[in-house]
Chains A and B, each alone.
Chain A
Amino acid sequence: MSAALEIVAPGLMTSVQDLGRYGHQALGMPVAGAMDPVALRLANALVGNAENAAALEIGYLGPTVTVAADSVRVAFAGAAKLTLQLAGGGEPRLLKPFRSALLKRGDRLAIGAVEEGSVGYLAVAGGFAIQPFLGSLSTYMRAGLGGFEGRALKAGDRLPLALDAAPQGEEQELAETFDYGTGAIRVVLGPQEDRFTSKGIETFLSETYTVTKEADRMGLRLEGAVIEHTKGADIASEGLVTGSIQVPGNGKPIILMADRQTTGGYTKIATVISADLPRVGRLKPGDSLTFAAVSVEEAEGLRRAQEAALRRLIEGIRPAQPDVTLDLAALYNENLISGMVDARTGVGR
């Protein structure tokens, strides 16, 4: 059989995503793509992929996968427990996130609950051998399009791998973590800020909002103080961007995310700046947030600074440093003398 990752357990919401399906919104085709594009790019960089390659986006709880290939190099970007059970048996090992690892045929990787944020990304070197739809591998689940059969993964799926075996090379790791930022979510007011009273704008920029349970890849419904319109919430339907903040008639904001529709007919009070979209993409029900307004020029500057920081982080990816616990186990297995182990790792006996 051809090389594949076999899904033993699917996790809660695991889907194939790249950086999105642009170019067809005029025909009503949503963009979809990664909720946290920064983490997707980091996962890809760690296994030597193009940054736009498709990976598995893992929502809330990760899958368990078995390697049905000679070998595969993987990297997980996110915060979750990664348990590797080798095909040959023995004690399970813990893998580190933001560090590539070489898995062999029959090895089983279990990705636990996402512990910070809501998503993580498992990239495989060489990517998946899946036919793109309209130029992208992103899954748009509402219409069953793209990705792997247009849907979230389920047990028994075989995700075809582009490579039969991992490319030669050292394992790589991220030297530092990415800073998603803290504090208020930055927005640019508009496009319909004139459809809200000054009190409504004031409410939006001063109150604390909470992410409700109605939070998914399409958008985040927020609970909090009602935002006052001047004359109703309906507008002639028009295009949207990821990060558009709609306020329908009930006065509660909705942040539109990756699987948003291409157009909408509700007033939009503001737009999340692109530098803060990865952070918003990681929010989960119960998280609270506030908004602060910046200008378009400031938003563009913040995005360029963030991109420069991300580029530095990716350029700083380095050969993985020896892992103390794992190396000890491996070296003992190879019957090396304990003195050498001590000298090399500084771990006393």
Chain B
Amino acid sequence: MSAYPQIRAFGDTGFSVEFGEGIDRGVNAMVMALHAALRDAALPGVVETIPSFRALLVQYDPLVTSRAELEAKVRDMLPGLKAEASVGRLWSLPVCYDPELAPDLQEVAERCGLTPDDVVAKHCASRFFVYMLGFMPGLAYLGGLDEALHMPRRKEPRLKVPQSAVAIAESMSTIYPWESPGGWHLIGRTPLKLFDAARDEPILLAAGDEVTFRSVSRDDYAAMLAQVEAGRFDYDALKVAS
């Protein structure tokens, strides 16, 4: 009998359903399938569900339901879950890899035995998958980085990473939604805001989305940044048909 799915207690307000080990698209697809199934089922007492790499956290209100009642309903759903190859939107996000906006690009290239152009080409050739969001509002963990670019986080995290910095570490890429401390390698910058409280949907990416990056010139970056700052940028135009 498989050890998964495995249910773990988060006190009297939550439990997680773990679908496997490590960072794996197949495992995460089951997480997303249960996330979607519970959203559609709208069971009484479910407060919200939070997907992560290999587990779905189900938060519930113990005054409306109970662990026993809810866990039974969730277990009933498990056999019918179908891992979908694609559940989200596909985005094509502009990134400027100009050295001034990419302080770690040269070092990353040297460590990988590549040229900076090679690094950019590989970053732009990857189709990334949003496994989960966390750490700060709107920060997406993008799996699918070309293996040639895998490397550990910086030994000395930066105290201040600029907003919209595009970064890589381990097998992941990300975009910082906020100016914040950070230990990832900065290889570019997007003119976009991954979080903008002024938008109807402040957070751009969601778990299950797919992302590709395209290289834009410094001039194009500046032009798009001006539109973003003015609140006139058309984010819908970044969605492409998959």
- Residues of B118-160 at the interface with A, using a CB-CB cut-off of 8 Å, are 132-139, 141
Return chain B residues, CB-CB under 8 Å to A262: 50, 133-134
Return chain B residues, CB-CB under 8 Å to A142: 136
- Rounded to whole angstroms, the CA-CA distance of A268 and B8 in the bound complex is 11
- A145 in contact with B197 (CB, 8 Å): yes
Asked if B189 lies at the interface with its beta carbon under 8 angstroms from chain A, I say: no
- Rounded to whole angstroms, the CA-CA distance of A27 and B10 in the bound complex is 20
Number of A interface residues in the complex (CB < 8 A)? 48
- A274 in contact with B13 (CB, 8 Å): yes
- Interface 0/1 of A13-26, CB less than 8 Å to B: 00000000011111
- A271 in contact with B11 (CB, 8 Å): yes
- Rounded to whole angstroms, the CA-CA distance of A263 and B207 in the bound complex is 13
Asked if B68 lies at the interface with its beta carbon under 8 angstroms from chain A, I say: yes
* Cβ-closest chain A residue relative to B54: A236
- Interface 0/1 of A233-272, CB less than 8 Å to B: 0001111111110000000000000000111100010111
* Cβ-closest chain B residue relative to A28: B133
Max chain A CB contacts within 10 Å: which of B10, B133, B139, B202? B10
- A28 in contact with B68 (CB, 8 Å): no
* Cβ-closest chain A residue relative to B31: A238
Asked if A282 lies at the interface with its beta carbon under 8 angstroms from chain B, I say: no
Return chain A residues, CB-CB under 8 Å to B173: none
In the assembled complex, the CB of B17 is this many whole angstroms from the nearest CB of chain A, namely 11
Return chain B residues, CB-CB under 8 Å to A336: none
Return chain A residues, CB-CB under 8 Å to B178: 143
Asked if B47 lies at the interface with its beta carbon under 8 angstroms from chain A, I say: yes
- Interface 0/1 of A23-67, CB less than 8 Å to B: 111111110000000000000000000000000000000000000
Question: Contacts A29-B137, A143-B137 hold; do A241 and B14 have CB atoms under 8 A apart?
Answer: yes
In the assembled complex, the CB of A310 is this many whole angstroms from the nearest CB of chain B, namely 11
In the assembled complex, the CB of A347 is this many whole angstroms from the nearest CB of chain B, namely 45
Return chain B residues, CB-CB under 8 Å to A244: 10-11
Contact among A22, A29, A237, A303 for B141, CB-based, below 8 A:
A237
- Rounded to whole angstroms, the CA-CA distance of A272 and B137 in the bound complex is 24
Contact among B10, B54, B138, B206 for A271, CB-based, below 8 A:
B10
Q: Is the interface of A mostly helix, strand, loop or mixed?
A: mixed
Asked if B116 lies at the interface with its beta carbon under 8 angstroms from chain A, I say: no
Contact among B22, B66, B132 for A237, CB-based, below 8 A:
B132
- B10 in contact with A190 (CB, 8 Å): yes
- Rounded to whole angstroms, the CA-CA distance of A145 and B202 in the bound complex is 11
- B137 in contact with A274 (CB, 8 Å): no
Asked if A191 lies at the interface with its beta carbon under 8 angstroms from chain B, I say: yes
- Residues of B5-30 at the interface with A, using a CB-CB cut-off of 8 Å, are 8-14, 16, 22-23
Question: Contacts A238-B57, A239-B57, A262-B134 hold; do A26 and B12 have CB atoms under 8 A apart?
Answer: no
Segment of A172-180, A220-228, A292-300 in the binding face: A292-300
- Rounded to whole angstroms, the CA-CA distance of A297 and B67 in the bound complex is 8
Asked if A307 lies at the interface with its beta carbon under 8 angstroms from chain B, I say: yes
- B50 in contact with A25 (CB, 8 Å): yes
- B63 in contact with A303 (CB, 8 Å): yes
Asked if A133 lies at the interface with its beta carbon under 8 angstroms from chain B, I say: yes
Asked if B190 lies at the interface with its beta carbon under 8 angstroms from chain A, I say: no
Return chain A residues, CB-CB under 8 Å to B13: 241-243, 271, 274
Contact among B14, B48, B55, B206 for A22, CB-based, below 8 A:
B48
Asked if A304 lies at the interface with its beta carbon under 8 angstroms from chain B, I say: yes
Asked if A103 lies at the interface with its beta carbon under 8 angstroms from chain B, I say: no
- A299 in contact with B134 (CB, 8 Å): no
In the assembled complex, the CB of A31 is this many whole angstroms from the nearest CB of chain B, namely 9
In the assembled complex, the CB of A240 is this many whole angstroms from the nearest CB of chain B, namely 8
Question: Contacts A28-B133, A238-B55, A304-B62 hold; do A22 and B47 have CB atoms under 8 A apart?
Answer: yes
Return chain A residues, CB-CB under 8 Å to B62: 274, 299-300, 303-304
- Rounded to whole angstroms, the CA-CA distance of A300 and B141 in the bound complex is 34
Asked if A189 lies at the interface with its beta carbon under 8 angstroms from chain B, I say: yes
Asked if B94 lies at the interface with its beta carbon under 8 angstroms from chain A, I say: no
Question: Contacts A28-B134, A28-B139, A237-B134 hold; do A189 and B50 have CB atoms under 8 A apart?
Answer: no
Max chain B CB contacts within 10 Å: which of A29, A30, A239, A300? A239
- Rounded to whole angstroms, the CA-CA distance of A151 and B238 in the bound complex is 33
- B135 in contact with A299 (CB, 8 Å): no
Contact among A28, A143, A239, A273 for B12, CB-based, below 8 A:
A273
- Rounded to whole angstroms, the CA-CA distance of A236 and B48 in the bound complex is 20
In the assembled complex, the CB of A189 is this many whole angstroms from the nearest CB of chain B, namely 7
Asked if B52 lies at the interface with its beta carbon under 8 angstroms from chain A, I say: yes
Task: List 5 tightest A-B contacts by C-beta distance, closest first.
Answer: A263-B134, A271-B11, A239-B57, A239-B50, A299-B12
Could you pull out 22 A-B pairs where Cβ atoms are within 8 angstroms? A25-B48, A26-B48, A27-B133, A28-B134, A29-B137, A133-B197, A143-B178, A187-B11, A188-B11, A236-B22, A236-B52, A236-B53, A237-B52, A238-B16, A238-B55, A242-B13, A243-B11, A243-B13, A262-B134, A296-B11, A300-B66, A303-B63
